A and B are shown apart, each in its own frame.
Chain A
C-alpha cells in the first residue's frame, strides 16, 4: 500500500515542474482543515445569528408566523427604541445596577481579601464560606433571599421592626427598593469569585516588599496603598471589565425574583429583550434592543482597553 502511493505520488525528479501541493499550500490546507470544525461552529452559532439579528433589527417579524412573515421596516425599530419608556427605564436601571454592583463589589472584595489574606485565623474556612454562594444555583439563592426579604414576616424586616423602624422597606415588592434588593443579592452572590481572584494575586506579591517597607517605617495603610493596590492593577482591570460586561447581561435573578416588576422598576435590557422577543414575539424590535446592548458593551470594552494601558503597572 505504502509503496504504491509513493510510486504514484509526486516523483522527486520532477521538482522543477510546477506542482500544486507545495509545502506552503499543504500546511495552509491542513491548517484550515483543523480550523474547520471551530470555524463552522463560529459561522453557524455566532456570525450567522449576529448578521441575522442585524437584518431583523431593520424588519418586523413575529416569530410564530415563520420566516415568510418577515417584513422590512426601515429604521422604525430604532426610532421606537428611543421613545419607548420601558427601554429607557431598562437602560437607566442597567446603569444604576452597574454603577452599584461593580465598584462596591470590588471594593468589598478587596478589603475582605486583604483581611482574609493577612489577619484571619482559619482563612481557608472563610475562603470557602465566601465562595459557596458563587457556586450555588442562582435560583436557590433567589429563593432564600426572597424569604429573607419577605415584606412583613421576613427575618430582615422583623429585625428592623425590632429596632423600632416603623415602616421597613418592602424590598423586592416595592418599586422603590426592588432594584436595590437585586443589587444587594448580586453583590453577595458574586463576591466569592472576586475574593478568590484577589487572594491569588495577593499571594503572588513578594513578602520582601512588605518587610522592606516596614523596616523603612511605612504604616499598614501606606503599605496597602503603595504596595498592594498598585500590584493588584492587572487584577483590578480584569475584574472591572468582566464584571462590567457581566452586569449588562444580568437576567436570571431578575427573571426569577421580580419579572422586571413591580411596574417595571427592576427591568433591565436583557430582560426587555426577553419580554419583547419571547413573550410578545416582536423579534425585530427585540433584535434592535439587542444591537443597542451590543453597541453599549462594545463602547465600554473599547474604553476599558484604553484605560488598561494607563492603569496596569507591569
Chain B
C-alpha cells in the first residue's frame, strides 16, 4: 500500500508536469476577437521595438506624455534586441508564432510590414482610420497597402542625402554641391578630395556594403528599389551597368574610395569612416542628422555640409524614395483601438521626444530640426542642411508593387556586386546573373 501511495504520487506528479508542459504550447490558439472594453477600464498595451539607450529615452518621453493624456491606457515598452532591428524582427516573429498577443510593433522598413501582412499576423487599419475619420493618404508620406488594405503607419521617415566634410571641401576649393548634381560630378569631387597615403590617407568618399551603395540610382530615385512598376525585376536597368562601372573606376583607377575588400574584410563602420575624416563624402540618410552634432559619441572637429543624392544625368528629377520605420498592430491584439491611439500619438508627435523626422505630412518638421542642431551650429552647414531636407527634394509616389521577398533580392544585389568587384566580372555578365536569380525568386513567390 505504501508503494501504491508513492506510485500514485509519482504518477500524478509526472502527469502534472506533462500537463504543465503541454499548457505552454496550448496557448497558440489566437484570440482574434477584439472585444470592446468599457471606457473606464484600464488597459495595458505592449509596444515592441529595438530601442538602444538613446532611443529608449525618446520612447519613454512618448509614453509619459501619452499616459498623461490617456490615463486609462498603460503602455508597456519592450526592446527585444536593443540596437538591432533585424534580430528584433526575428524575435518578434517567434513571439507571434507562439501566439503571444502583440499590440504594437515597429519594423525598420516597409517590407517588414508586407512580409507579415502576407502571413496574416498584422491587423488591417482601414476600419480604425474610418472610425477616427482619417484619410491615411492625407496623413502620411507613404501608406503600405497590401491586397487593397492599409497596414502600417509611417512613424519615422528616412530619406537619403550626402554628407560632406566642409573643411575638406574648402581646402580643395570646392563648393557645396547643389541639387541636380550628377554621379559623374560626385566622382570628380571624390578624386579632388583624395589626398595622402597609407593610414593617413583621406579618401574622397566611402561606400558601405549595403544594397543602397551598389546602385543608389535604383535605390534612391526609382519608385521601387528592386522592381519595375509592372512587377518585373529592375536588375536589367542600364543604371546598374553605369554605377557598377563607376564604382570600379573610383576604386581601381581613381583610388578615391576604400576598396570593397577592405569594407567587408575589416567590417568597417560607415559612421566612423566619415567622422574620423577617413572619407570626405558619405552617402547616407536622415538618421545621421543628429549624429553630426553628437561629438561625444563621434568626436570630430570639422563642419558637415549636406547635399541631395546625385542623379544619373543632368536634368533628372530629384524625387527620392522615402524609407522609414513603420508601426504595425498585431492581428491577435485585444486592444487594437488603444494601440492605434498610441501609434497615432507617437507618429504625429513633434515635441522634443522626437529624435527622427516624422512620417506625418501635416506637421512642420523644420522647427524640430532647428531644435536638434541648436547650440551645435559649429558642426552643421545649416543652409545646405535645410535646403537638402526641405527645399530641393520631393517624395516619389509610393510604388504600386508590393513584394514580400525584398530581403532575398537585396542579397542577390549584394552577391552580384561582390562578383563584379571582387571577381572582376563584367557588369553585363553580372546583371544577367542577377536578373536570372531574381526571376527565380519572383517565380517561386508567385506559386
Q: Footprint of B on A, CB under 8 Å?
A: 5, 8-10, 21, 26, 29, 33, 36, 40, 44, 62-67, 69, 146-147, 149-154, 170-176, 261-264, 278-281
A174 to B258, CA, bound (A): 15
CB distance from A30 to the nearest CB of B (A): 9
Contact check, A153 vs B97: say whether CB atoms are below 8 A apart: no
Residues of A within 8 A of B313 (CB): none
A154 to B10, CA, bound (A): 63
Contact check, B415 vs A173: say whether CB atoms are below 8 A apart: no
Contact check, B262 vs A29: say whether CB atoms are below 8 A apart: no
User: Given A36-B14, A40-B17: A173 and B260 within 8 A (CB)?
Assistant: yes
User: Given A64-B115, A263-B423: A281 and B10 within 8 A (CB)?
Assistant: no
Residues of B within 8 A of A175 (CB): 418-419, 422-423
Contact check, B90 vs A278: say whether CB atoms are below 8 A apart: yes
User: Given A66-B97, A173-B260: A146 and B266 within 8 A (CB)?
Assistant: yes
Contact with A along B16-52 (1 / 0, CB 8 A): 0110010000001010000000000000000000000
CB distance from A69 to the nearest CB of B (A): 7
A36 to B11, CA, bound (A): 10
Of A66, A69, A150, A173, the contact of B99 (CB 8 Å cutoff): A66
Residues of B within 8 A of A261 (CB): 264, 414-415, 418
What is the chain B residue whose CB lies nearest that of A153?
B199
B7 at the interface (CB under 8 A from A): yes
A159 to B292, CA, bound (A): 37
Contact check, A147 vs B1: say whether CB atoms are below 8 A apart: no
A262 to B423, CA, bound (A): 10
B93 at the interface (CB under 8 A from A): yes
A150 to B267, CA, bound (A): 9
Residues of B within 8 A of A171 (CB): 265
CB distance from A110 to the nearest CB of B (A): 33
A63 to B118, CA, bound (A): 12
Contact check, A151 vs B261: say whether CB atoms are below 8 A apart: yes
A91 to B232, CA, bound (A): 31
What is the chain B residue whose CB lies nearest that of A257?
B267
Residues of A within 8 A of B97 (CB): 63-67
User: Given A29-B7, A66-B28: A263 and B266 within 8 A (CB)?
Assistant: no
Of A5, A9, A152, the contact of B259 (CB 8 Å cutoff): A152
Residues of A within 8 A of B419 (CB): 175, 263
A9 to B119, CA, bound (A): 61
